[in-house]
Amino acid sequence: MRKNYLLFLLLALLSVKANAQKIEIPVDTKVVTTHSVEILGEKISYTATTGMQPVWNEDGEPTASLFYTYYRKSGVKDLKNRPLVISFNGGPGSASVWMHIAYTGPRILEIDSEGFPVQPYGIKENPYSILDVADIVYVNPVNTGYSRIIEPEDADKKRDREQFFGVNADVSYLAKWINTFISRNDRWLSPKYLIGESYGTTRVSGLALELQNSQWMYLNGVILVSPTELGIERDGPVEVANRLPYFTAAAWYHKMLPQDLQKRDLEELLPEVEQYAVNQLLPALVHGGFLNPEKKEELAAGMSRYSGLSEKVILQHDLEVPFRYFWKELLRDEKGMTVGRLDSRYMGLDRKEAGDSPDYNAELTSWLHAFTPAINYYLDNELNFETDLPYFMFGPVHPWDRTRNNTGENLRQAMAQNPNLDVMIQSGYFDGATTYFNAKYTMWQLDPSGKMKDRLNFKGYRSGHMMYLRNEDLKKANNDLREFILKTLPKPGEPAMY
């Protein structure tokens, strides 16, 4: 009897497994909804298209399907004068959620004026969205958001992950995807812009040249939000010296500087610290262990004054204080708290005050707290996109091939080939991951000739990595984007030539 029971149970389990349905990955589909929003006092009607568009291989088979959201202003019949902004976030492995529902899109999440989560969670109108001057498409690369690899029908085969997960592979397949999107939506005549945040700046810098050289698609602008190094080397003394202006900004925010510095405005103080880092600290660091002891102590005093750290701590680190130690140390004695990596306005609480680095990233946990419920609610309830796929805020994309990263040079080459291509950089002063001064350094190194420097410009904000989370900077940063787009639109009949 017991044997019969076990046999019945085994057969039942096998039957359940055989009849279980896999979550369906939509390969090629879309949902269109209509909406309106008031931007800078003007009512804007628009359509929102959410969907999945395939990535094709050379045999015309779908190898992946990318989730996107496309906002288009209603009533515009002549698209050749209507700009299109193609938006990416970073990671790599991050969904496009961040800029989508907190920066440029027509709807943004409910947070307080400084960017901290509040409940009940929700979505509201974005009165500063750039949708008044440009249509926008938010793209989720493979394994982010709802985007997924489409496995072959042959169960014994698997897609080669290397065709998606690497600096150059990422750029290659996304350029082809963009071509398909532009063709399907009749946007070939439109002025085109790329915007990327964090690793997304690596992505769009590479795409600028890839689109020109492989898809014959020319851009009018690239916006780099909190840029990475773009393959531009800054190791050794340069990397160490470049940390100091960020240290100053974070210490200023938490009122840890000497009183004479603390009472000065941040944007008036930072240029002084930048000059100190470049003209005093950097030349001294070149000498390494052979630096004169008296000069070393003099520099430690200067760094202490500008960083909120003690001279003793700075000397213990031989003038090279690591970022993670700074995040742990700055408020250790004052409040027993840590400061955030991506936005040092946020504070964290560790198990122990002792240690060399924070237990967790205070800002990221706060952001996930606010963004995750908002994007899941918004896509389902307002944009009517239904799926059982989990929305990957951060997806499985590793290992990521970071070799042959020449994206900074790719961007320079794209600008050189296209006189109509301008670049704007946006950075938050309190970002300790992709610091604002490293962003300036990247801008300085992009064009060694200096012949294109009038086509490169920098904007700084009093917040962190996602500077738009602070309401004042949401307004300012969107206005900077709006001005950049309008300024770089081609004048009718004006040739693209030097």
What is the model's pLDDT at position 149? 95
Whole-angstrom Cα distance, residue 102 to residue 107? 8
Q: Computed over its alpha carbons, how large is the radius of gyration of the chain?
A: 25
b/e 92-124 (16+ beta carbons within 10 angstroms → b): bbbbbbbbbbbbbbbbbbebeeebbbeeebebe
Domain residue limits, the chain: 29-231+370-488, 237-360
Map tokens 């020109």 to a residue.
212
- Ranges of the chain whose pLDDT falls below 70: 1-21, 155
| Domain 29-231+370-488 listed as CATH 3.40.50.720 | no
Q: What is the pLDDT of residues 41-70, one digit of tens each?
A: 999 999 999 999 999 998 889 999 999 999
Contact 87, 136 (CB under 8 A): yes
3-state DSSP assignment of residue 197: strand
Smallest Cα–Cα separation from 478: which of 461, 465, 491, 464? 461
Q: What is the pLDDT of residues 141-150, one digit of tens each?
A: 999 999 999 9
What is the model's pLDDT at position 47? 98
- Residue 293, classified by CB atoms within 10 Å of its CB into exposed (0-12), middle (13-18) or buried (19+), is exposed
Smallest Cα–Cα separation from 226: which of 472, 454, 442? 442
What is the model's pLDDT at position 409? 98
Map tokens 């490293």 to a residue.
438
